[in-house]
Structures are given as structure tokens and as C-alpha cells.
Chains A and B, each alone.
Chain A
């Protein structure tokens, strides 16, 4: 019986930059982004896939980067919060989060923004119910979601 592969070379494109790294086979994508690539804009809030702070978009699919191994992301294109504003110009969604006070501590915000972006990309005019459903996998402990829902609705307009 052959030994399992302990590590693997992984190539990913994150927010337009290509990275190639030798990665432990069991490393989670979120820890790869944060610890290996120093892309700390995406956060971790739990260890069970519940909180959504680590949400990113991988090849067009919204997912929680703590629920994917880094080696599974080999060859993919990953979008994170750090790539939303090109040249420091906030997107309408980011601006709406600020204008509507949709963030307090800002810890859930990176994941919340990616979930909201994913929603609006596929459903430009969501109802309030659709907005709440779209972010139900993202926990916020500061806002009670009131202003987050408002901000996403405002950005959709």
C-alpha cells in the first residue's frame, strides 16, 4: 500500500494574482489564504462551517473556505473581499454597507459582503426575504441584521 500524499503543490488565482505554494494536504482553504498567502481580509469565526465569516467565491460559486481543503482549490479562481474595490474605490455594495451602518466590529463583514455580492450578481432585485435567505449562512453578532438587509436592498437599487 502506498503512503498517502502529505503535501501537494497548489496553484490558485486570488483576486487576480496567481500564487503557487506547497501545501499540507489537510490544510483548509481559509488557513491557506490567511496563514500561507497572508490574505487576512477573510476571517474565521467558527470551526463547524456555521458562521460564514470565511465566505469566498471559488470559480463563481459562493462557499465557506473553512469547508474546503486548499488542495481542492488547485487551479481555481478565488474572489475575496480584498478584491472587491479596485484601486480603493468602494463598490456600491461596500458603500451601502457603510452608509446604512451595516457593520459595527466589521468581523463578519468580509463574508457578508461576498454572500451579498453573490446574491446580487445572480438576482439584481431581491426581495427582503431573498436577502435574508441569502445571508442566513452568515452570522453577525453586532447588528441584528437590520441594517445589513437594508444595505443590500439599497445596493440593489
Chain B
């Protein structure tokens, strides 16, 4: 454990750990980035999708003839063609979910408002939109399911082939829950909690420009996809082609947050159009389209939560029935049915956990991973459990956390389901967070607020950001799946004029990978980050692409940098071998790399600049002795984390490599008349091990916190009973603006991971700590107003007002009994 103070005093060596200027910034502050909608090709057509106005309906006819008559319209695509030309995307689930048929366009039936039914391509964006209006689609409306609990009854079934709305169901049973119930002094029961539907809504919408080369039958997709490895696996079989026929290229991406993982349906439609119309096609989603039909976060209802507690406040575990609503198609699901298990006991020493997990489809937008994916929902449950138990048993939420936290001395700590928490100091993080909000003054501030007619409350959100997935967890859902482990690629080469060139398999969307990769390479080669050229974006034809390539799931600091380190170490070794061959009789121990030279350790004058090494190997290699002629100066490394296949029967195994900690504390004031919640103080303490670039880490913390605060108070994808999305744009879906954000105070500690090359941990997702902290603070504030229970993750003014008016309605959700 290194504390803030110790670290500041430690001597700094090299560029790792420094806030070097971001390489990305110079182009981005001048409007010179290249985002997906900036990519143009001669003769390209603009694509506009015709979308379902109904949430659930049979399609009885589609007529595109009027659209095709419009001058400047190049062509169309409808579901029937898609069904003939492609195969359904493969499903990850076992039956019933496995039997769902998911195509690029709706075939025969629409299942959510905004589902693409047809596509029109035209000379201009405006013309394509006009032409789409002329496509006539006949619908026969069907009963609509917008509620997961209703869907689970199967009275209306969305997918006839599946025969049920259940995608996946299974029971996770770790430890001895019945034994814990027998041992408990008190049992706290919570009937129902609801984690709302929202998403991080990246400011740049999804899109792609797709070209088809008829001679080679290759598609090139210039897009803003953030996980091309897995998308390729979906698209190749659907398009009936090998993966070599699909080239994924990205450049600058305007935010992703997981929402740009499931673009494969749109991309398949674009591929078909580019081939059919023999011209490049360009599609950029409109904001309204993104909200209706791109990707929402998982909505989850927790039923019959049961918590056995000892008299001293020790919680022995919990049981729950979790019902996850994934919208109309599973796509990346049912992975959300297992991802939460990375953090099954939260930060706590809970050993007895029983979760009956069911996922259903409804007539709402499909979901996809969304910052904090699946763990955030589960951690919200864990934090609600802690705060509701504390409040019902009159325990101090700070002390009860400390009593139940996993101890630093227990790290690495194996959870009841076999996950290994690598390092951390939760109690210290909590103390620092409380310090940031001046915890000692809370009662005085509460009294001051009360004098002004306001209710003040404090809440804590303690979470883990588990990073670097073991994809073997998918086999806990479906043992037939052939996925496990993880990988990422980087190449580092020394070119003919001494250029140090890095390519990454990662697909950054603002995380500064060019900069951070350059820090690592610079330190390894003894040069400056400015000397390192990191290729912008991802290109699956650049040989820096592996099955799990992408930027997702908090892992760059481990997988991405692991690959960079592996590659640059190989290159450094090659440069030394050339230097040794030419300067030191082949003894590599006698040479070193410094200041852009390879030189003798005992004589700095005996040196060859990297430019010379690059020139010799690439263009003058006849002067080299035979034993170094295998040197290419082009090093490729695939980082593979040390995972094993989890045990299917016990649903047991290590599912992620690192665990970053977030402990946040919020202070809110609530207006008694209106229910408006104002966050008046906010402290965020994060621990992601050693920080390679502290400024970038802090930026990620700020952003994740903003997402969480938006979700806690404003952001909700709300549907009416007909399945109409009521928040399809930034008017109705209110994301935080500059005036909405509270003053944020940040702190950190560094608990290096023992499992990673730099002691760093992935941390980009955060754990949604802000949502949990604000929910807890609202409940704390409302205590004097009848002690209502905060039962939903999203608490806009009207819901808070309802709790103020009728606290007893939420009190019915909770009961305490002697065991």
C-alpha cells in the first residue's frame, strides 16, 4: 500500500506516473480529429433507416416503390432480403434465448419502437430521410410488454421461435445461505428494488462508412465500433464470409461507454447495401435514433431480498431473485446474467449468497454493456442492502461498512464464488471520502438546512470496478460456448529513419491510449513520448488485432499496456542485439539504450543512434553478422492474462484480474415542497493501483461520476404502456449540464495490483458509486419525514415528492424479524 503522501515524496523515474501532455489533444482542439461522420468517399450514398412506430406489431407489407421513384435515391433494403442473404446472429444463451432469431432488419415482426424495418440510400442525407418517409409499411399491432415481471408470465411472447420471454435463468448458490439464516440474530427483508433503465449516451452517435470491393469480396468498415473483435465473430457467420473479408477501421471516436459494442445489426445492413448498390454507403445515427434503438443499460428488478444479520451488525450474506430486462433482443446478453458475479459480495466479507437470476425480453430497446455494466446494478443492490439494514437496525452506515468490508490484510481475497480481489484498502478510502465532505460537520449542516426548510442527508457509495474479464465466465451461462481468457495486441517497430511506431489493438474513445502507450514505450527505450508515434485508431488489417481486441470493461491499463510492454521489451532486446553485434562483440549485457542511442555501457561515445539501427536492419542488412539477421525490429506481442476456465457446476472461478475501488460520499439537500434534490457536497476517492497518467485517471473519475449523478436524479429511458419511449432526445432525457454538476472533491490512494505489469488496474467504468451514494443520501435526508425507503435507482423530484407525501407506501417494502 502506498498512500498519497508517500507517493509524492517518492523519486520520479521516467514518464510512467507523469501527466505528460496528451498526444490526442493538438488535433482535437483544432477540429482536426477524424470522426466517423467525417469520412467521405466519392459517389457515396447516405443511409436512412425506416423505423417501427409500434413497439410490437406484425409487418403485413412493405412497399418501397415510391421511395425508389424519387430522383437521387440509389436503392433500398428490406427485411425479406436480409433474411435471404444472411443468417441470424448467433446467440450466447442456452434455450430459450438460444432460439431467438435476430437479423439486421426486422423480419415479419417489429418488437420495439424504433426497430429498423427498411433502409433507404440516397445522394444526400436530406434526400434519404425524405425517401424513407415514402416507404409504406403496413402493421398489425400486437399486445405490448414493457414490464419485466409481466413478460416473465409469458402471456404474450415476443419471439415465437423461443416460445418464452425468458432468455436465461439460473441459480447461483455460494456458501451456506440456509446455515446463515439459522445463525442470524435478525433478518431484514426487502420486497422489491428497481434499477432503472438509462445509458451513457455518447455525444457522437453511432455510424459507419462501408465500402465493398467486388474483386476481393472484402468489406471495409470505417466506423466507431468499440469492440471489433467480438463484432467480427457476430458478423462473419451472419454474412456467410470469413473474418478476413471484414476490415474494421476506426479513428477518433466521440465516446462509447459500451454503447458502441452492439452495432453489428446496423453494420450488416450497411454491408448488404454497399454490395447491392455497388457504392460506398454512409450512415450516422440521429440522436433520436440512438435513444430509441441503439443501446440502453440493463434494467433490473430485485425481489424478496433477504439479509441475515448478527446482533453486532455483521451481515452473513443475502438472497435475492433478480429479474433483468434486456429489451427486445439479447445481443450481448445474457452476459449480464453473469458479469455481476465478478463482484458478487460487493466490498463485503459476505460468504453466503444465493441469487436466482432470470433475464427476459420486453418490447423496449435492446440493451448493451453500459459503463459499469451489470456490476453497477448489483453493487447498487449491495449498497441498498447495507443502508437499509443500517437504517432499520439503527446502525451507523460508516461503522457497519467498516465492520463488513474485506480487510486489507485479507488481500488477495477470494470471494465465495472464487473471484480474487487483488488489493485495496476500503476503510482508508472511506475515511478519506468522509474527510473530503467534512463528515464531522454534518449534524450542524443538517440543522442549518432544517432551519431553511430543507432536509439534508449524507450517503456513501462503495464500489469496485472489476477489470480485465475472463471470458470463460460466459461458460457459466452456456457450457457449450468456446470463449475463455482474454487477449490484446500491440506492435512496436523501429523504422528506417528511426521512427518508433506503435499500433494498438485497443479502440480508444477518449481514454488517451496514444499518450499512455507512448509513456510506456518511452521509458522502455530511453526516449521521450514525443519520439513515439502511436497510430491513431484501430485497423483489424494492421496485424494488431486479436479475438477480444477493443476498449471495454476497464482493462487498457492491464491488457493494452501489457501488450505494449511485451512488444517494446522485445524490440528493446532486438536493438540491443544489433548494438552488441556492432559495438560489443555480441555481448548484449555490455550495451544499453539511452537518449535514442544504443551504446556501450562503459563508453557512451561508442553508440549507434536508433536511426542508424533502423536503417541498417531495414535497408543495409548485408553488413550484419549472420547471428543477428533474424532481427526484424518489428515486434508484436499478445498479452494473455493468467486465467483458468471457471467450474460450471459450482459456478466458481476467477472472473476478472483487477479490482479498482471507488468510495464516494454525497451530501444532498431536499426541498420539502417540491422534492427537488440538490447535491451540495461530493467527495470521490478512487484507488486503481499505480496511476500511469494521474490526470487521465482523474478525468475518468469525473466522467464516471457525472454519469452516475445523472442516472441518480435525471436520466431515465421511460416508456408508456404502449411502448413509446418518452425520452427520445436530450430535451426529455436530461443529462447533466455544467450547472447541474456539484462541486466535486477528489482523493485517491494507490494500492498496486500484484497481478499486473505496472501495478495498475483498469478503472474507466467506475462502479456507479455516485448512484449509490445519492440514493443513500436521499434516504438519509428523508429520515425525519417518515423514514421512507429509496427503492429505485433514479430519483427525480416527483419520486422524492411521492416519498415525502406517502412514506408508508415504501415502508411496506421492508420488514425486520428475529431469526
Contact = CB atoms under 8 A, between A and B. Distances in A.
Interface of A: 24, 26-27, 31, 34-35, 38, 40-48, 50-51, 53, 80-82, 84-85, 88, 90, 94, 97-99, 101, 103-110, 113, 131-133, 135-149
Contacts of B739: 132-133, 136
Interface string B246-262: 00000011110100000
Nearest to A110: B31
A132 B741 CA distance: 9
B203 A40 contact: no
Given A98-B21, A141-B203, A143-B703, A48 B730 contact: yes
Nearest to B25: A98
Interface size class of B (residues with CB under 8 A): 35 or more
A148 B700 CA distance: 14
Of the listed residues A80, A104, A135, A139, the one surrounded by the most CB atoms of chain B closer than 10 A to its CB is: A104
Interface stretch (B33-41, B307-315, B320-328, B337-345): B33-41
Contacts of B509: 105
A92 to B, nearest CB: 11
B735 A43 contact: no
A142 B736 CA distance: 11
A108 B547 CA distance: 31
A45 to B, nearest CB: 4
B286 interface: yes
B191 interface: no
A42 B645 CA distance: 48
Chain A interface mostly helix, strand, loop or mixed?
Answer: loop
B425 interface: no
Given A97-B25, A101-B699, A107 B204 contact: yes
B133 interface: no
In the A-B complex, the 5 residue pairs with the closest CB atoms: A41-B31, A107-B254, A105-B510, A106-B28, A144-B706
B735 A139 contact: yes
Contact of B37 (A34, A82, A106): A34
A132 B703 contact: no
A99 B22 CA distance: 8
A24 B204 contact: no
Nearest to B33: A106
A79 to B, nearest CB: 12
Nearest to B737: A136
Contact of B24 (A41, A106, A136, A147): A106
Contacts of B19: 101
A146 B741 contact: yes
Given A101-B699, A107-B33, 11 more contacts: A45-B204, A46-B729, A51-B730, A81-B30, A82-B30, A85-B29, A105-B509, A107-B252, A141-B735, A142-B255, A142-B510
13 contacts: A26-B126, A44-B37, A46-B729, A47-B287, A51-B287, A98-B29, A104-B512, A105-B202, A105-B254, A107-B204, A142-B255, A145-B738, A147-B702
Contact of A113 (B29, B200, B706): B29
Q: Among B34, B511, B698, B703, which residue has the most Cβ atoms of chain A within 10 A?
A: B703
Interface string B147-191: 000000000000000000000000000000000000000000000
B201 interface: yes
Given A27-B126, A101-B22, A107-B35, A45 B287 contact: yes
A138 B740 CA distance: 12
A131 B731 CA distance: 22
A136 B511 CA distance: 24
A35 B125 contact: yes
Contacts of A84: 29-30
Among B33, B204, B255, B738, chain A packs the most CB atoms within 10 A around the CB of: B738
A51 B729 CA distance: 10
Contact of B257 (A45, A141, A145, A149): A141
Interface in B78-132: 124-126
A88 B204 CA distance: 25
B703 A148 contact: no
Contact of A41 (B30, B254, B705, B731): B30
Contacts of B511: 104
Nearest to B32: A41
A132 B28 contact: no
A31 to B, nearest CB: 6
A40 B37 contact: yes
A81 B31 contact: yes
A53 B729 contact: no
Interface in B722-747: 729-731, 735-739, 741, 744
Contact of A98 (B26, B253, B255): B26
A144 B288 CA distance: 23
Given A47-B729, A104-B511, A90 B30 contact: yes
Contacts of A80: 31
Contacts of B37: 34, 40, 43-44
